[in-house]
Amino acid sequence: MRRVSLPLWVVAGLLYVFLYAPIVVVVMYSFNAAKYGGPWAGFTTEWYGKLLADGLKQHAAWNTVVLAVVSTVVATVIGTMLGYGLSRYWFPGKKLFSWMMYIPVVIPDIVMAVAMLMFFGLVREWTGLFELGMGTMIIAHITFQIPFVAIVVRSRLVGMDPAIEEAAHDLGATSWQVFWHVTFPQMLPGVLAGAMLAFTLSLDDFVVSFFTTGPGATTLPILIYASVKRGVTPDINALSTLIVLASVIGTIGVTLLQRRHQPTGG
Amino acid sequence: MRDSSRSEVRYGERLTRAGQVGRSLVTSGLGIAWVTVFLLLPLLAILVISFLTVGEESPAEGPLTLENYKRFVGFGAFGFDPLYPLIIVRSLVLGAGTAGLCVMAALPLAFFVAGLPARHKNLALTLVIIPFWTNLLIRTYAWQILFAPGSFLANVAASWGLVGAGQALYPSMLAVYVGMVCDYLPFLVLPLYSSVEKIDWSLVEAAADLGADRWRTFWHAILPQVMPGLVAGIILVFIPATGQFVIPDLLGGGKVDMLGNLISRQFGASRDWPFGSAVAILGMTIVLVGLWVYARQARKGGGESII
C-alpha cells in the first residue's frame, strides 16, 4: 500500500472539515446564550434545561424510540423468515418477487411514502381502519424494513457452505435440528446486521413518517423539521446535539463490537 | 420444471416442488403477504389513480385519462407550459450533479483512508461513518446557521462581492448543492473505500513501469478496479438526491422546486392525488430508466453492478 502524500492529507482534511462543520456548529450553538441564533453571546446550558421541561419534545423522543424498536423487531422476524425462505425454497413467481423486493432500495422514499399514504386513505374510506397515527407509521416502517432485512439475511445464507447442512442431515438430524443447531447460528450475524440496518433506517427516516403519521404521533425528525421551518431555535440545537451524541455513541459502539467479532477485518 | 412430483436434493434434503412451495409458504409467506399488501398494492394504486382526475367529493374518479401525464410533460389545459418539464430536468441535474460532485470529493477521501496505516485507518473510517449515521435533517438545517447573515461564510462571500453585506447565502441553488453534497458524501465514500481496499497495486506499478504517466495510470490501472464501488455509490446517491424534498425545501426556500417538492405538495396543500401520482410514477420511471442505462454503460466499462 502506498503512503499518503501531503496534498492528499490537505484535501482529506478539508473534506473532513466540510463533513463536520454542520455537526460542530449545531453543537456549538446549543451552548450559545443568544436567543435568536446570531453571533456568539456566551456559554449557557439554559436550552438543555428548557428541554428537560418540554413534555412535547420528550413525547416525540419516546415516539421515535417506540417506532424504531417495534418496527425493527417485527421486520427482523418477518424479514429473516423471508430471507431464509427465498434462499432455500422455490415457489412460482419467486424470481419476480425477488426483483420486487428491491423496490424500497431503488425508488425515492417519497414515492413509497405517498403510495402508502394514499393506500391507507383509500382503505380507511371503505373500512374505517388505518386511522393515521402511530399504528400506520409503524406499519409503513416495517414495510420498507422487511426487504432490507431479507436481502441482508439472504446474502449471508447464500454465502454459506451447503456441505455443513448436508453433513448434519447425513448424520441423522431432523430438518428442525439442522435449522436450529447448524443454519441459525451461522446466519445470526446476517440477522443482526439486518436488524441494525433496519433500526437506523427507522431512526433516520423523515419522509415516510411525515406522510404516514397523524395528530399526536410526532417523531423527533418531524418535530425538528416543523421547528426549523419556523426558524432555527436554540432548544432545537440542544435537542439535535443530544441526537448527534447518541449517533456517535451508537457508531463507536457498533464499530467496537464488529472489531471484537472479526479481529481480522475492519 | 413444472412437474410437481419431481424432486431434487438441496442442502441435504429431498424435496418435491410441492414440498418446496409448502416450505416457502411457512417461511416466506408472511413476508410476501406483507410486502404485497403494504408496498406492491399501494404502488399499483398510485399507478391506477394517476389515470383518474380529482372529483367534487372523492379524491379521485373516472373516466380513465392521460390528462395528468400530459400536464406533467407540459401540455396542460392552456397550451404548452415548460414549468413542469423544467422541474424534471432540474431534479435530474441536481441528482446527477450531486453524484458527480460527491465522486470528486469521495475519490481523494477513500484513497486517503485506504492509504493510512492500519491503526489510524479505523479512526478515519469511523469519522466518515458518524455523519453517515447522523440524522440528515440535522446536518441540513445546520447549513442555515452556517449560511445565515453575518456568519463567517456569508461575510467572506460578501467581501468577495458575491452577495450584499449582511445578506444570507440561503435560500439559493448554491446552498442546496452544498447541503446535498455534504449529506450524501458518506454514501459514496463507504462503498468506494471497500473497492479501493481491494486494489491490486501490482497492476498500478506495472502501468508505471511500462511508462504510463500518472493520469493514464489512474485512468487505466486504478479506475477500472474501483468501478464496482463507484457504481454502487453513485446509485446510492443519485436515487435519493433526485427525489429529495427536504434539502431543497430547507436550503432552497420557495425558489428551487424539485420533483420531491412537487409530489409532496399534491398530497398536501394542493390535494391533487391523481396529478401527484402521475408525477411520482413518471419521475420514478425516469430515475429507474436513467439508472438502468447507466448500469449498462458501467458494466460495459468493465465494472460490476449491484442491480
User: Looking at the partner chain, which of A90, A118, A147 has a beta carbon nearest the beta carbon of B46?
Assistant: A118
Q: Within an 8 Å CB–CB cutoff, is residue B245 touching chain A?
A: yes
Q: Within an 8 Å CB–CB cutoff, is residue A174 touching chain B?
A: no
Q: Within an 8 Å CB–CB cutoff, is residue B39 touching chain A?
A: yes
Residue B60 placed within a domain: no
> Are B145 and B225 within 8 A, CB to CB?
no
User: Looking at the partner chain, which of A18, A25, A247 has a beta carbon nearest the beta carbon of B133?
Assistant: A247
Contact call for B34 and A207, based on CB within 8 A: no
C-alpha cell, A202: 427507522
Q: Within an 8 Å CB–CB cutoff, is residue A106 touching chain B?
A: yes
Angle at Cα A198 formed by Cα A256 and Cα A152, nearest 5°? 80
Residue B130 placed within a domain: yes
* pLDDT computed for residue A9 by the predictor: 94
Count of CB atoms situated within 10 Å of the CB of A254:
17
Q: Which domain holds residue B295?
A: 79-300
Tens of each residue's pLDDT in chain A, 266 residues: 457 889 999 999 999 999 999 999 999 999 988 876 667 888 999 999 999 898 899 999 999 999 999 999 999 999 999 999 999 899 999 999 999 999 998 889 999 999 999 999 989 988 988 989 999 999 999 999 999 999 999 999 988 888 999 999 999 999 899 999 999 999 999 999 999 999 999 998 999 999 999 888 999 999 999 999 888 888 899 999 999 999 899 888 888 887 776 654 43
CA proximity to A208, closest of A81, A77, A69, A68: A68
Q: Which residues of B touch A168 (CB under 8 A)?
A: 12
Q: What is the ipTM of this complex?
A: 0.90
C-alpha cell, B198: 481491494
Residue B67 placed within a domain: no
Residue B169 placed within a domain: yes
Domain A63-238, CATH among 1.10.10.1800, 1.10.1740.10, 3.30.43.10, 1.10.3720.10:
1.10.3720.10
Per-residue b/e over B4-23, b at no fewer than 16 CB within 10 Å?
eeeeeeebbbebebeebbeb
Contact call for A115 and B43, based on CB within 8 A: yes
**What CATH number does residue B227 fall under?**
1.10.3720.10
Residue B5 placed within a domain: no
Measured CA to CA in angstroms, residue B46 lies from A44, A111, A115, B50 at distances of 50, 9, 6, 6
Report the interhelical angle of B223-243 vs B83-115 (nearest 10°).
140
Q: Which of A81, A84, A118 to mutate to test the interface with B (most CBs of B within 10 A)?
A: A118
Number of H helices and E strands in chain B, helices first, is 14, 4
Residue B238 placed within a domain: yes
Q: Domain total for chain B?
A: 1
Kindly report the length of chain B: 307
Q: How far is B45 from chain A (nearest CA, A)?
A: 7
Residues forming beta bridges with residue B76, ordered by sequence position: B79
Residue B278 placed within a domain: yes
Q: Which residues of A touch B139 (CB under 8 A)?
A: 22-23
User: Looking at the partner chain, which of B31, B125, B185 has a beta carbon nearest the beta carbon of A19?
Assistant: B185
Q: Within an 8 Å CB–CB cutoff, is residue B34 touching chain A?
A: yes
Angle at Cα B240 formed by Cα B239 and Cα B243, nearest 5°? 90
Q: Which of B32, B57, B222, B262 to mutate to test the interface with A (most CBs of A within 10 A)?
A: B32
Contact call for A81 and B250, based on CB within 8 A: no
Q: What is the DSSP string of B157-203?
A: HHHTTSS-TT--S-SSHHHHHHHHHHHHHHHHHHHHHHHHHT--HHH
In the block, residue with C-alpha cell 432485512: A149
